Each structure stands twice: as structure tokens, then as C-alpha cells.
Amino acid sequence: MAGLAESGSNPDVELLYDINGLAKDAPHWFDRVMEFVGEYGLLLALVLLVLWCWWSVRRRGGQEAAPSVAALVWAPLAAGIAVLVNVPIRGFVERPRPFRTHDGLDVLITGKNDYSFVSDHATLTMAMGVALFVANRRFGLVGIALALLEGFCRVYMGVHYPTDVIGGFALGTAVALLLSPLAMALLTPLARAVERSPRLGWLIAARGRAYTGRDAVIPGARKEPAGTEQRDLAA
């Protein structure tokens, strides 16, 4: 397995050179920007996106606040689990970094001495993006777009093959979707309990917007005029 994609005659390597070749023609400052964005920036952007979505859900409140927050908690958990799943995969495949077996690559970041398949960054970002999509489609589409950009950056930087990135996307998506039902079954009751807490309820919904179930409207029920109950008791 270690010899995977070591031949320069396959599309994986050809696409690697095509994308990484853009770094050779780009200004030095742009490569430094891509280095920061690909290594840290997009991960930070996804974390901020999840927090933004949480703030939006919290302000809106209502019956769906607790399940939505539970889904948002699943996003970073899915990313962490996906990376743990990747540990034995990397050890089994043992694919060297592309710059170790191919000459002429413009490597923008040093110190990458571990195995290449699959990309941790691609796995992390796609797991968060897909889990965020489960919680909120609008925010999730932005998250998935950031994950796709992360994959491009990893190849641009010369530290991953395109198939490393595709494998990371597949792994992150699989973990986020397949374990989502179990995660929601465990996290939603916890979020409901936090919502009822006097001290921690603000984590789920802003004050005055928490759902307690007492204000639920029963379809077809007739609303009695104010004071009717008091008149009946007096009679």
C-alpha cells in the first residue's frame, strides 16, 4: 500500500502537480496566506461558523432550540471521532507524503513527516461541515464549501495527494452522517435538561425564549375568554 500513487503517470499525481504548480507562479505573500489558511484559518473559520449558528439558534429559542443545539454539539464531536478513526487507516495504508516520492513540488509548510492518506484537515473540516448541515442547511452549505476549500489548500501546499483529500472528505461525511442518529438520541435529552436548568438554560435559548411545553397550542381547542374560569368557580 505504501507505493500507492507513486507513479507520475496517473491522474492523481498529475493533478497534484497541476494544483501545486499554481503555488510556483503565485506571489510569495499569497503562498504565505494560503499556508495560514490551509493549516489554521479554515479550521478556525468553521469553529466560528458553528458558534455563529449556535448564537442564532439561541436567540430564536422555541421548541427546536434544544435539538438544534444538540446537533451543533455533534459537529466538533464528529470531527474528533473521524480523526480518531483515521489513525488506524493511516497506519494501515502507510502512504508517504507526496514530496517524499516526487521531485519538483513547491512545499509551503515543513515538518510534515507522518503519513499522507487520509488528510486529517480534510476529514476534520468535512465532518464539521456535514454535521453542521444536519443542524442547519444554510450554515452547513457554507461549512461544506469551507471544507472543499481546505482540501484544495492541502494539495496546493504540496502536503497531500488529491486522493488523500477525497478520502478525508469521504471519511468525515461517513462519520458525521452514520453516527448522527445515535449522537442525536444521546445529546438531545441532555440539551433538554440543560434548557430546563435555571443556571445553564441560556446555553440553549435566550431568556424569555426557552420552550417549556406549557405554551403549546392544541389544534382545534377553543380559547376561553379571560375571566371565564373565575366566573365558573364563583358560581
| Among 150, 130, 152, 151, CA closest to 141 | 130
Express each pLDDT in 134-152 by its tens digit: 999 999 999 999 999 999 9
Q: Which amino acid is at 113?
A: N
> What's the CA gap between 100 and 113, in Å, rounded?
9
Q: What predicted TM-score, i.e. pTM, was given to this entire model? A: 0.80
Q: Tens digits of per-residue pLDDT, 49-64?
A: 999 999 988 888 777 8
- Does 234 have pLDDT greater than 50? no
CATH class of 12-203: mainly alpha
Question: Residue 1: CB partners within 8 Å, gap ≥ 6?
Answer: 92, 93, 94, 95
Supply the pLDDT for residue 104. 85
Q: How distant is the alpha carbon of residue 75 from its chain centre?
A: 5
* pLDDT score of 207: 63
Mean per-residue pLDDT for 74-99?
A: 93
- DSSP string covering 79-108, please? HHHHHHHHHHHHHHH-PPPHHHH-SS----
Task: Round to whole Å and give the CA distance between 177 and 126.
Answer: 11
CA distance 123 to 173: 8
What is the pLDDT at residue 147? 96
